[in-house]
Chain A
Amino acid sequence: MKITEIQSAKASEARQNDSYISVKNLSKYFERKGESLHVLDNISFQVKKGETVCIVGASGCGKSTLLRAIAGLDANHDGIVTVDGADVTNPAKERGMVFQEHRLFPWLTVEQNIGYALNGVSKEERRRLVHEHVKLVGLRGFEKVYPRQLSGGMAQRAGIARALVNNPSVLLLDEPFGALDTFTKISMQKELKNIQKQSHTTMILVTHDIDEAVFLADRIFVLSARPGKIKRIVPVTLPEPRDRNSYEFLEIRKTIYDEFFAEGQDLEVPKGKRKKPRISVG
């Protein structure tokens, strides 16, 4: 290979890494009772390899729909999603998914649930991987327990371990801590951060919790109300570990808060029926 070829290969690899996940002109409509619901409107963005992106937006703006398109769970949309250069049309184990409800199989124990994700590995390898991931999410001692016997936080950890056990290059999380109490939630956010540091997984996390987004993200995508559009991208360059009460943290939080609650923002809702969007601010 000539030097110029090597250079261009490197450049293309760098480009590839800059757009590890690429979403181009993604639009989505749901047909319901003959009516067409416009959910996502021409969304385009790119995510770097190893980056953590948080998507925030009000309830119903299409966050889950967007994440499902990236996961390949719903390929019935306009536009193109690629991961590592390949079109996403189906779910694949290289893209781990964590849902808001833990979605563990009730009939399998914690270790069986985590092991379920593994296909075509030897018995010893399976045991080793399951053990390693049980440890990673702090569930040692609960391997033989059924999901029914787990607390919400523990079940969610098991769900995360299951999504990670295939060592996916992309981890997609849909409001994973939304159902947890504040204390559990904050400790899970810290753990997720540690896991990300160890595994360098590219992460996209959907949330309606602004604090969570500022704490976890390298960049925050703010989605508008339905039809969802990327209204703003906010880079978060705070040093680690992030202090939730530092001036800079609060400043970013306010920036995002203002995206939702600035003057005249929520006036679409008729008077008398006015509801606060489901955004928790701390």
Chain B
Amino acid sequence: MLEDSIKKVGYAAEYLALTAAILALWFFLDVHGDLNPVIMPSPSKVADTLGSLIGKGALWGDLLISVGRVLKGYLIAASLGIVLGILIGLSKHLERFTNLLVQLIKPIPPIAWIPLVILWFGIGESGKIFLIFLGGFFTILINVIDGIRQADPKLIEVSASMETPLLKHIFLMVIPSAAPSIFTGLRTGLSSCWMCVVAAELVSSSTGLGYLIMNARQFGRTDVVLIGMLTIGIIGKIMDSLLKVAEKSVIRWN
């Protein structure tokens, strides 16, 4: 028992060490060197600014707006990606029919879409959501297709030998077998959605964390830039952890 808890403390220390070291270096440089506040503000300055941003509710507002955008784009990407991925994964014809287009569009970074998106949608909300959707969709789609393709032919044969009705075969055999891959897609898709929301807000927005960062840079407020960046990191990590929890509770059999 004791050994176990010592081990756990050890793991926790390992987990935190690198981040703690970098923070320590920052404090050290602040005390012993002279940090240029425009290039790297001091920890205390960042903490003060964070306090006042939270106090005014400014950070919270931008955060909610960005999270809302991500969720909208992500939910569309996830539902379309999963449904289309399953259909394409199940049908060789559909796969041949869509493959070339998917392969051509997939390597284009969503950021390269920004000019076109502005032309098509203007600089309103729908353009941003579309960009976020693009960011998540292909990653999710391709992972779902792969997961379904990789189903064990021996198990498929078992299902077939029992005269299993198609829908039952899809929901009890094909989808569970692809579940790990689907979750991989959902998690990588979510992080690309975050990249896209920030990119979209950097380019054309007056709200959101991306805007917060861009706006702060123009006024030389590096402390606010840092806070915006860290907030994105933290919220991204939290959302990923939630997905991991969901994955664990869905994939109970491993």
Contact = CB atoms under 8 A, between A and B. Distances in A.
Given A146-B253, A166-B162, 12 more contacts: A72-B161, A91-B162, A95-B161, A97-B161, A99-B154, A105-B158, A105-B177, A107-B176, A108-B172, A119-B162, A119-B168, A147-B253
A106 interface: yes
B144 to A, nearest CB: 16
A101 B158 CA distance: 11
Interface residues of B, number: 21
Given A146-B252, A146-B253, A91 B154 contact: no
Given A92-B163, A105-B173, A73 B157 contact: yes
B163 A93 contact: yes
B253 A91 contact: no
B154 A148 contact: no
Interface in B222-254: 251-254
* B162, B163, B176, B254: most-surrounded residue (chain A CB, <10 A): B162
A212 B127 CA distance: 70
A71 B168 contact: no
B165 interface: yes
A214 to B, nearest CB: 29
Given A107-B177, A146-B253, A116 B172 contact: yes
A108 B176 CA distance: 9
A103 interface: yes
B79 interface: no
Interface in B157-171: 157-165, 168
Contact of B160 (A91, A101, A119): A91
A92 B162 CA distance: 6
26 contacts: A71-B161, A72-B161, A73-B157, A91-B162, A93-B162, A95-B161, A99-B154, A99-B158, A101-B154, A103-B154, A103-B155, A105-B158, A105-B172, A105-B177, A106-B254, A107-B176, A107-B177, A116-B159, A116-B162, A116-B172, A119-B162, A119-B163, A119-B164, A146-B253, A148-B253, A148-B254
